Structure 1
């Protein structure tokens, strides 16, 4: 790292630096198209033989899950704009209607590729490892008898087939549920001659069924529930003949759409909206590939969808449910090897973590570093008679969260526990409502942040009385207080007792739980008040340094970059000669490599075993140079969320973060590079370079598996 430090200017912060090339809509990449390209990069991992075979299958399923959410949220939002004539154009100038057309074109290509990879590559390779997903025609006699018995005992008693006639209109089917449309011949007990019926697959039943093993067999064999229902569907319509059975699935708008300015009780409003999520407007329909055209047309008309919204699937329409296979198999050789996260000696050997944190700041990088110190600090606080209060934000904590268990214990032990819980953390709303109730029952103070702003900051503040005086300790992170995520998401965790940093965190909690004016802060940048302004000023500072002939450098690692003001500032910095490296895992609206505009900007995306989630910034001429944050550089994070960005005050820890960042910049084994056309290319072949995440595993973890 450069040892040169320049204090941020306090005057002329509004001075305009002219652009040599004026920015127009052609210099921005469409947000939704960029997000879809990220999902395509995830799909590509299923072809990368450097990943173990079952992990390649997992990438395929993650792609399917990501695409579900993409339709439920992003596509649904665009469709609503078109439906109600309220189209909002992004910086790229592409209309929602045009965006939907381009998205559909690419989604059809990607979904077709997904099933091609599954059927032609992964399933045959799994079969070589004696893992078989059997089609109906592959069942032998004993298997068929067992499956027939399973259907009779476990499936048929739960299923409620619905005939379609004037007394039974088309049912309202739950979002993403597996259903069958059945064509029938004959008359029922009442003499009615129904032609069609709907068979909803019970959500309580597993979509994947493991067949019993023969005594001498070493095969793991599975059948899909869809195949079981298809094979024995005749048994649901006694006296009639099922002439066709076709699975389908409808994806619906899943945005809660809470009108916060009109509500009185946030918890009650969110609880009420959760049910409606299951029955929002249809945005996509998936049907099995051999579904007849007249049935397809019937379904499209029923859901008011077009051919563009139709996706024909060469296999199960609900691939996400295949995740269950990982709980039914024990094939360690086909999965990532286990590893033991590092535990910093100063934290591992300390009987009192407060003493260790008071001695110096500590920085962890999960999952290479253990998440246990976060839990241990909270446990010690819950039991320590000297601890007076604990304040914590919770965005995603997970089912049966250990963090919440400890906070409950602390409240029962008489600590003043305050939890700021975000009820609108997408798809975790129900769990957050439940943990809020648990904390309230234990005597903790629970609040839901600020109406209109999601609380996305990751903060813990502990107040302890030492020798008659109050001392404060903080934990600040880039990721959630979610133990499982800490094993698969990369995130920084900072422990500090710095008085000014602790005072800043205290002020933010005051803003969240009380009312009053914005309070000045010494070290933290916080959204929606100062974060965007400070980031823009840090970029400007590098621009001015470059114009003065000084060395100037910016490194930014975030999950998404879409904020127009930030992108324009980066373009200006590039034109001034600032060297800029952007490590953007997902969405990036900035277009690098444009002559005269962004030639000094490089953008890369790293996709791999761990989800790159940590947000970190390096500004060569800034006061502290290295910063970490809970926020991405997106409009929603900078203006509609409660976020924090914190400096790394220790020179030693700053150097460590800088080295982490440069490792990603120099990586050639796991990086996708964005070009000026908006396309990504893998930097090297899939076999010639070591994965950057494996390098970090080798560096940090005691028992990390070697390639």
Structure 2
């Protein structure tokens, strides 16, 4: 494949328009966004305008998600990143596609199979969307392996990081591989012959397997001609060759190459005509009846069945003969369009260990130490600090450690009576859970709302829930029918004879590992009204009763969506009356049609709308008469953008909120979410400036076009390169440049 075409924007040009944009005029492209303050009022265009129910105004969510993954893949070609970081993006793309098939494609196929197809605002039915998805994924996967084979592997080799293919094995390497295979691999492999008494095995989701074509009779006189060879899951997918064998540098051999080279050892007396690797992806979405008496027990049963869900994708090495792929497709009930031939290993996600080689720090991002605000450094009593002022942290530039330290201090503090905590994703060996366990053992009243249905973290959450219960904590599994996605902690402390509340509210999970990889906000506060609201929400989750009136906190599924629609409508009213109006929204996904229609109406009246949407965005910007005042950017960089920030100019009386919720129906209608105000001129100014930094990014930002494609922004004219994440890292991690 010619790599001249492997540029960033080429990766994003594959999306066909799923609905014609007839009669929808594209607006002239706008200039780069200016700062929040002092914006002129954009001109409102007169009617007639298209109906906001026109399906051509909306982008299909799965096609938009593929566009996000294309932007991720494009980072592997970005030479501004260190080489191993570029490889990491390529592997992240593989992991994202795995989840895309396991959840999104599986869901569409299920709708088609049961004849219960649901179309979104874009009007595309699942049976119509699936062919588009297949076409785009085939193109993206072909590009992925071209980037791997023609760009990254040669560049890695220039740095003496070599993946040695079988055709390049020296006699010394061959001897070492033979010995390694016979001693470490062959004893734990189980070849499965296929005949009437050996039916096709039930293969585990995403496992590496081989289909082997044989010639000859076995010891029982059988001549089936085919066998399946599952690779043991506990074995690494790349094996390092000792330097005395492979020579200088870091030399690796793929496990698949070892098995392929020595498959005949496993079929003594028979001739191996061919051995071809393949990988099956299955439906991994869990279906749990929440009306069962024991949700945890029901979930444990579903976790096992996830490994053997319905087949949704077959990946196979590109040289596998057609008669064997046809056989596999028949066994799995898949069509030709659901098979992906690849030029390399079928399980690239298992190469992540290579991206953190100790021998090549120069090919990785330079490490950094997240800063701790001066007021919280070496603070033995964080309650004194938070009691005097709200503390706002932006991770990963500022450390998540103060959040953990607050909980640790609460666990030991004799004046602390109770701790309440939500847990959605906390990871293994969680410091947050450690502190909660310690608090419970120290006699505090600890209550944890653990969301057991956090996708792909169900097993981890079951384990931590059990651990908390054994320590004496009260564990609640949320609310039937609603995932608890809110991020909040409440600490009750006796001070001077009175109870005082302290709270943490965040946009991200209580996961110390992700806090170094994701951008998120944390608010540490003792604000009386806000802490009272947090207490009410915990009581609502833990107990039973009517919806409680909040003073400051907005929460889904009750008040958040209506409040957001009201704020958009208010901004629309300001614009219609000739006043400046501006909305800035930074979220991960925008798919809720009702929210999109509200933004379209705002644009029509002249509201300037700046959207920073990392992933899925079903809104089409730049359509004359509808969304001509809307710009949509996506930031893809070193850190995963995860903050949710809502800004409304409000005729000068600005409103600024942080939230755990994206603008998706599931978040606003079917989850427990929080949205809390940023108050005080200093904190508001800080967050606004950080939003302006993102709006000014011209190196890692992508601009959504009316046809659903994305174009990467770049400095023009005399502009200096502006990388928002790098600027925030330099500013917030340097006390001399920061806001403290």
Tell me which interval the TM-score lies in, with the shorter structure as reference length.
over 0.9
Distance 2:228 2:487 in 1: 46
Aligned counterpart for 2:145 among listed residues 90, 104, 115: 115
Distance 1:438 1:399 in 2: 12
Alignment partner, residue 429 of structure 1:
458
Which segment is superposed worse, 98-107 or 328-337? 328-337
Alignment partner, residue 194 of structure 1:
224
Distance apart, 1:28 and its partner CA: 0.4
Matches within 5 A, 1:253-264: 253-260=283-290, 262-264=291-293
Compared CA separation, residues 510 and 153, structure 1 to 2 (3 A): same
Matches within 5 A, 1:287-436: 287-436=316-465
Alignment partner, residue 666 of structure 2:
636
Maintained 8 Å contact 2:490/2:504: yes
Distance 1:644 1:345 in 2: 28
Compared CA separation, residues 226 and 329, structure 1 to 2 (3 A): farther
Alignment partner of 1:682 is 2:715 = no
Aligned counterpart for 1:137 among listed residues 151, 155, 167: 167
Distance apart, 1:217 and its partner CA: 4.5
Distance apart, 1:43 and its partner CA: 0.1
Deviations 1:54-102 (A, max 9, x none): 0000000000000000000000000000011000011000110111010
Deviations 1:285-334 (A, max 9, x none): 00000000000100011111101101001000000001122355431100
Distance 1:349 1:317 in 2: 49
Distance 2:698 2:195 in 1: 61
Alignment partner, residue 699 of structure 1:
731
Distance 1:704 1:73 in 2: 46
Compared CA separation, residues 597 and 445, structure 1 to 2 (3 A): same
Alignment partner, residue 179 of structure 1:
209
Alignment partner, residue 27 of structure 1:
57
Compared CA separation, residues 281 and 454, structure 1 to 2 (3 A): same
- Count the aligned residue pairs: 692
Alignment partner of 1:531 is 2:560 = yes
| Unaligned stretches of 5+ residues in structure 2 | 1-34, 39-45
Compared CA separation, residues 3 and 196, structure 1 to 2 (3 A): closer
Deviations 1:573-593 (A, max 9, x none): 001111110000000000000
Compared CA separation, residues 571 and 155, structure 1 to 2 (3 A): same
RMSD: 1.8
Alignment partner, residue 14 of structure 1:
none
Distance apart, 1:653 and its partner CA: 0.5
Maintained 8 Å contact 1:210/1:328: no
3-state SS of paired residue (1:44): helix
Alignment partner, residue 58 of structure 1:
88
Distance apart, 1:688 and its partner CA: 7.3
Aligned counterpart for 2:114 among listed residues 84, 98, 101: 84
Alignment partner of 1:551 is 2:580 = yes
Compared CA separation, residues 338 and 327, structure 1 to 2 (3 A): closer
3-state SS of paired residue (1:176): coil
Matches within 5 A, 1:421-570: 421-570=450-599
Distance 1:277 1:673 in 2: 37
Alignment partner, residue 270 of structure 2:
240
3-state SS of paired residue (2:646): strand
Compared CA separation, residues 215 and 702, structure 1 to 2 (3 A): farther
Distance 1:36 1:289 in 2: 23
Distance apart, 1:192 and its partner CA: 1.2
Distance 1:186 1:403 in 2: 60
Alignment partner, residue 638 of structure 2:
609
3-state SS of paired residue (2:242): coil
Alignment partner, residue 9 of structure 1:
none
Distance 2:487 2:715 in 1: 38
Compared CA separation, residues 216 and 147, structure 1 to 2 (3 A): closer
3-state SS of paired residue (1:643): strand
| Unaligned stretches of 5+ residues in structure 1 | 5-16
Distance 1:53 1:158 in 2: 35
Distance apart, 1:117 and its partner CA: 0.2
Distance apart, 1:194 and its partner CA: 2.3
Alignment partner, residue 646 of structure 1:
676
Maintained 8 Å contact 1:134/1:223: yes
Compared CA separation, residues 216 and 246, structure 1 to 2 (3 A): closer
Maintained 8 Å contact 2:173/2:246: no
Alignment partner of 1:205 is 2:235 = yes
Instruction: Give the ranges of 4+ consecutive aligned residues of structure 1 lying more than 6 Å apart after TM superposition.
Output: 1-4, 685-688
Distance apart, 1:651 and its partner CA: 1.7
Alignment partner, residue 29 of structure 2:
none
3-state SS of paired residue (1:471): strand
3-state SS of paired residue (1:330): coil
Alignment partner, residue 249 of structure 1:
279
Distance 1:54 1:486 in 2: 21
Distance apart, 1:2 and its partner CA: 7.7
Distance 1:28 1:644 in 2: 27
